[in-house]
Structure 1
Amino acid sequence: MNLPNKITISRVMLIPIFLIVLLVPFHWGTLTIGSWSLPVTHFVAALIFIVASCTDWIDGYYARKFNLVTNLGKFLDPLADKLLVTAAFISLVQLGFTPAWMVIIIISREFAVTGIRTIAAAEGVVIAASQAGKVKTWIQIIAISVTLLHNFPFAFIGIPFDQISLWIATAITLYSGWDYFIKNKEVMLKSK
């Protein structure tokens, strides 16, 4: 297993740590600035989530720079992204920060795309993440991060960026799912 794949695996391994810090009722105090407040657990969970998300860029950089792109990496990288983002979104629903219907749309798209990848793999074809899919992932990461940080720093200027970014993430998720199906429809047609 090469370095980029090990970095991708580390992203998956950070997920349970992120979930424990975010969801177990630790009492680590609260950060407060004026009327804005943030539980320290949410701050630490946001940092873990951001670090885990950044490994997506790092593994891709090393894979391309040192020509270490593998079929395993093409499979693991988007899977690790899906696991991290899904865990975060479901946690945000549990905490009451994100509407469930948005998360259902986002997760449904991920299942559908994974289904296409499974069909393609059965045909001996590995489908790498598309550019629209990568943009979708980064917009989702921004939305999750800002939501975990209770709209910091936008709360100080009265812009509900956390909510705006969730709407944008949902819209780009729908678009990237449609784009993915259109670009890979021949894989589904061949499998009949």
Structure 2
Amino acid sequence: MNIPNILTLLRIVLTPAVVIFLMEGSYFKALIVFSISGLTDGLDGFLARVLKQQTKLGAYLDPIADKALLTSSFLTLAIMGIIPGWLTVIVISRDCIILLGIAILSIMSISFEIRPAFISKVTTMLQLMTVLTVLVLQGLGNAMDYNWMHLLYWVTALFTILSGLGYLVRGIRLINTQG
């Protein structure tokens, strides 16, 4: 176990706290915990590279931590009627499609490397920014009817869809070349 993996595990452990704070309407506390989680996301990867502590475990845990935090946050906020349900469906559907693809490749014994594409990193950043912005506005007691919020929702949805399609194309290529 190394520092980057510990930070990733911390992000997983903090996820239920974000959900609990959201359910209690404690948006400022949720914002703080979510922000700490977001910082560990960037810090774990940076430290893994700088300290040359990249591990196979970290390669698996990092996306799991991201998915746990984002899926839980989007789902809770949608159930509470704070963000649009359609956006949550897009975010979660993309993740389910990726997991299904990984399962299919594994069942077919097709070797693959877990390496996020650039668009996926942008997608994760947009999803984090969407939740963070919602938490800031909720914490300040502001209404969510800003036109720019709708633009952020649509941009996040667009990148999420494009990222999902990118993974789908990569998976199909792997199956066609190795399957």
TM bracket (short chain)? 0.7 to 0.9
Q: Check 1:140–1:19 CA distance in 2 against 1; reply closer, same or farther (3 A cut).
A: same
The answer as to 2:166 corresponding to 1:179 is: yes
TM-score computed with the length of structure 2 as normaliser: 0.87
How high is the TM-score relative to the length of structure 1?
Answer: 0.81
Judged with a 3 Å threshold, the aligned counterparts in structure 2 of structure 1 residues 3 and 75 are, in CA distance, closer, same or farther, namely: same
Alpha carbons 1:3, 1:59 under 8 Å: kept: yes
The CA distance in 1 between the partners of 2:18 and 2:139, in whole Å, is 19
C-alpha distance in 2, partners of 1:120/1:177? Answer: 16
Contact 1:46 1:148 in 2 (8 A): yes
Question: What one-letter code is carried by the residue in structure 2 that aligns with 1:5?
Answer: N
Distance 2:12 2:102 in 1: 19
Which string of whole-angstrom CA distances, capped at 9 and with x for unpartnered residues, describes residues 88-108 of structure 1?
001111221112121111100
- Secondary structure of the 1:8 match is helix
Change (3 A) 1:185 1:46: same
Tell me what 2:27 maps to: 42
1:87 aligned onto 2:57: no
Q: Does 1:58 align with 2:51?
A: no
- Aligned equivalents of 2:113, 2:16: Cα separation in 1: 28
Query: What residue number does 1:3 align with?
Result: 3
1:127 aligned residue:
114
Superposed, 1:10-25 pairs within 5 Å as 10-24=10-24
Q: Report the CA distance between 1:85 and its aligned residue.
A: 0.4
Matched, 1:105 2:96: no
Equivalent pairs counted in the alignment come to: 175
Aligned-pair CA distance for 1:186? 2.7
Give yes or no for contact 2:28–2:139 (8 Å, CA) kept in 1. Answer: no
Task: Please state how far the C-alpha of 1:70 moved relative to its aligned partner.
Answer: 1.7
Deviations 1:158-180 (A, max 9, x none): 95333321111111000111112
Alpha-carbon distance in 2 for matches of 1:50, 1:169: 18
User: What is aligned with 2:53?
Assistant: 68
Q: CA RMSD in A?
A: 2.3
Superposed displacement of residue 129, structure 1: 1.6
User: More displaced, 96-105 or 121-130?
Assistant: 121-130
Q: 1:152: how far off?
A: 7.9
Amino acid at match of 2:151: I
Cα deviation, 1:28-59, whole Å, max 9, x if unaligned, reads xxxxxxxxxxxxx1111012111101111000
Give unmatched runs, 5+ long, in structure 2.
none
In 2, the alpha carbon distance for the partners of 1:64 and 1:119 equals 30
Q: Using the aligned pairs only, state the percent identity.
A: 29
- Quick one: distance in 1 between partners of 2:174 and 2:101? 8
In structure 2, the CA distance between the partners of 1:98 and 1:77, relative to structure 1 (3 Å rule), is same
| 1:19 aligned partner, one-letter code | V
Which amino acid is the alignment partner of residue 10 of structure 2? S
Q: Which amino acid aligns with 1:102?
A: L
